Amino acid sequence: MLQEKKLKFLEDMASRVRRDIIEMLVEAGSGHSAGPLGMADIFTAFYFHILNHDPKKPLWPDRDRLILSNGHICPVRYAAMARVGYFPLEELRTLRKLNTRLQGHPHRTALPGVETTSGPLGSGLSQAIGVALAARLDKKKYRVYCLMSDGEHNSGNIWEAVMFAGKNRLNNLIGVIDRNNIQIDGYTEDIMPLESLRDKYESFNWHVTETDGHNIEEFVDAVKEAQAIYEKPTVIIAHTIPGKGVSFMERDYLWHGKPPTANEGKDALHELRTLRGRIKSEHQ
């Protein structure tokens, strides 16, 4: 269980990461809004509590690996990485600009701390499996975490990877699905129904747990449960709200792939500051 002081710190940091995301997208004039806002709590939990890593030594051989499959939500990863010390905060304002290290999809050789280049949806789990197999062959103790979207589970490559990981009992691999129920052209259950995700993964020999992706303490507990599973890989189905914290974005798939305007950004930042103040008062 997280100590109250640490939990408050993580919640405050997640709020700051959400404001970073809005500021980055407004400055860039392009990018994705809903997914990054929805995953702010999870990325904060990873970079500030869960991962065994060192921002000053991004190539440390024994670091945990975080693989982002749905690379279009990278603003949340960049914000968390900057906040934890991988690169200067001022660099966040270069998102998607010419010659930036912060491209619209993460580029492995451009930014230390980014483990893989992502773009084509459905590929990340296969990449993560390769890293997890390498750790097993090298007798390394690090863990491999693969963050995926629910919509990319339309891709056949995902299910080939799911079968392979289950067959090979990759217990050093933990998947996290952002179950926000949207994709670029609608709601997942209208475009290509995914349920029951739990049953599908379990049928391929995965341990499955479900959690509230906005409850940091609950998510951390889910990861601890996953770390205790030794006979198979684990997937955490994290139920999130796309656009979390900004009322006019929440649960609206039209915000999947567009940024706020300058005025919308001001409104969003106001809401996020108000939300943080409300959460703080609830803890007092």
Q: Which of 89, 22, 27, 23 has its CA nearest to residue 55?
A: 89
Q: How many other CB atoms are found less than 10 A from the CB of residue 55?
A: 16
| pTM across the whole model | 0.95
pLDDT at residue 120, rounded to an integer? 86
The tens digit of pLDDT for each residue in 234-276 reads 999 999 999 999 999 999 999 999 999 999 999 999 999 987 6
The residue-averaged pLDDT of 187-201 equals 96
Tens digits of residue pLDDT in 111-127 = 999 999 987 899 999 99
pLDDT at 283 over 50: no
Q: Is the pLDDT of residue 201 over 70?
A: yes
What is the Cα–Cα distance from 225 to 204, expressed in whole angstroms? 19
Using alpha carbons, select from 111, 116, 109, 93 the residue that is nearest to residue 101: 111
- Containing structural domain, residue 10: 4-283
Domain count, the chain: 1
User: What digits encode the pLDDT tens for the residues 56-75?
Assistant: 999 999 999 999 999 999 99
Tell me if residue 197 falls in helix, strand or coil.
helix
The phi and psi torsions of 122 (rounded to 5 degrees) equal: 95, -5
Half-sphere exposure for 157 (CA within 13 Å, toward CB) = 14
CATH number at residue 182: 3.40.50.970
